[in-house]
Amino acid sequence: MSNSVTANSTPRYLVPGDSAAESPGQSVPFGLGSLAGKTLLLVLRIQEVLEQESLHLSIWCSGDGQNWGTQALFWFPQRFYCGVTPAALDLRQRPDIKFLQARWEVNRWGRGIPRPYFRFTVEVQEAGD
């Protein structure tokens, strides 16, 4: 049995490429379509950051694209630097989930520019087990 997860499809984007965040925000609802009920690979790619700031990104789920509940389905670890953070999300036991949404919080401390700035994307791919 392997513990690795590999992508076996073309990525789709929960947060489009080169999105910029200077304040808390959220993506538009992402319809899973044929990905519903499968194991997914979510890839957070941070391309640009300022120093002394953090990005905390959560993934929310919905059956209808309107009601998102009161708790996130998944939180990426808080990030401070450019880089790639993959995560596997197993939806095989949750066929009711038809939509995902990314929500982010940003924070900045220290001197210099007073507001945070991140340029990032979140890819969604079907994972091969």
Q: 0.85 exceeded by the pTM?
A: yes
Domain membership flag for residue 1: no
Domain membership flag for residue 17: no
Q: Match 């993934």 to its residue by tokens.
A: 59
How do the pLDDT tens digits run along the chain, 129 residues long?
344 445 555 779 999 987 899 999 999 999 999 999 999 999 999 999 988 899 999 999 999 999 999 999 999 999 999 999 999 999 999 999 999 999 999 999 877 778 889 999 999 999 875
Domain membership flag for residue 63: yes
Domain membership flag for residue 101: yes
Q: Please count the structural domains in the chain.
A: 1
Chain centroid to CA 17: how far? 12
Who's near 88: CB < 8 A, 6+ residues apart? 5, 39, 40, 41, 42, 127
Domain membership flag for residue 7: no
Range of the domain at 52: 27-128
Q: Match 């401390």 to its residue by tokens.
A: 109
Q: Match 């640009």 to its residue by tokens.
A: 48
How many angstroms separate the CA atoms of 114 and 95, rounded?
43
> Kindly report the CA angle at 81 between 35 and 42, in degrees rounded to 5?
5
Q: How far is CA 123 from CA 12, 43, 51, 100, in A?
A: 6, 5, 24, 12
What CATH number is given to the structural domain containing 79? Answer: 2.60.120
Region of 69 on the Ramachandran plot (φ > 0 left; ψ -120 to 50 alpha; else beta):
left
